[in-house]
Amino acid sequence: MNQNQHEEASQKQTIILCTGNKNKLKEFIQIMGDRFHIDSEPVDLPELQGPPLQIAKEKALLAYEKIGKACVTEDTSLCFNALNGMPGPYVKWFLEAAGPEGLSKILDGFEDKTGYAQCILSYMGPELKEPIQFVGQTQGVIVRPRGPGHFGWDPIFQPDGYTETYAEMDKDVKNKISHRLKAIQKFIDHFLVN
């Protein structure tokens, strides 16, 4: 590292990613590491009920209260259009209770099988009064589970323009079209302009 690089590194803003997931941290560093010094903290944060942006906002405020440094929280939803966005932020409880198969069967009585995966990144820092939020969405259809079942509802979400579910896809392909990447890109765009 030469003198310039040293100065650059020390000027980088530090952002704490609120997660215990080292893979998520790696992904953030890969995408945003040039501009930010990214670290992570496995903060245990209660989640409220309510509209998705509100849930995410409250969580970010709590995270910032706990950590005391600029931080980012992530909220993921799977929203069914036939149910006007439900199960949305509650999808993890449905998945836990009924599994991917049960979750997909919820739509059997409805013609409309479309839905979207949503990621909300909420950034809160000392310079802000309220978190700034970045929403990424990927449209698709809800199908019966296909592919490995390691990642939550990935086996039942087939993004538009693809014949594979998130779970069946090559990870690199998924990461390029994912709701998370879209939210991360908005996050970066914001900080490049501001």
What residue ranges bind its own copies (CB under 8 A)? 46-50, 58, 82-90, 93-94, 97-98, 102, 105-110
170 assigned ligand-binding residue: no
Q: Between residues 107 and 184, which has the closer beta carbon with respect to its own copies?
A: 107
24 assigned ligand-binding residue: yes
Least distance to its own copies, CB of residue 90, Å? 5
Least distance to its own copies, CB of residue 89, Å? 8
Least distance to its own copies, CB of residue 112, Å? 11
The CB-based long-range contact list for 87-94 (8 Å cut-off, 24+ gap) reads 88/52, 88/118, 89/47, 89/49, 89/52, 89/55, 90/49, 91/152, 91/153, 92/152
Least distance to its own copies, CB of residue 15, Å? 25
Q: Between residues 67 and 95, which has the closer beta carbon with respect to its own copies?
A: 95
Q: How far is Cα 114 from Cα 43, in angstroms, rounded to an integer? A: 34
Q: Between residues 80 and 187, which has the closer beta carbon with respect to its own copies?
A: 80
Residue 121's closest CA among 110, 132, 137? 132
Beta bridge partners of 78: 88, 117
Least distance to its own copies, CB of residue 72, Å? 20
At 55, the amino acid letter reads: I
154 assigned ligand-binding residue: yes
21 assigned ligand-binding residue: yes
- Which residues neighbour 92 within 8 Å (Cβ) at sequence distance 6 or greater? 152
Q: Between residues 59 and 179, which has the closer beta carbon with respect to its own copies?
A: 59
At 125, the amino acid letter reads: G
Residue 76's closest CA among 139, 136, 165, 142? 136
Q: Between residues 89 and 159, which has the closer beta carbon with respect to its own copies?
A: 89
Tokens of 72: 């980012």
Q: Point out the annotated binding site for Mg(2+).
A: 47, 75
Q: Point out the annotated binding site for ITP.
A: 19-24, 59, 75-76, 151-154, 174, 179-180
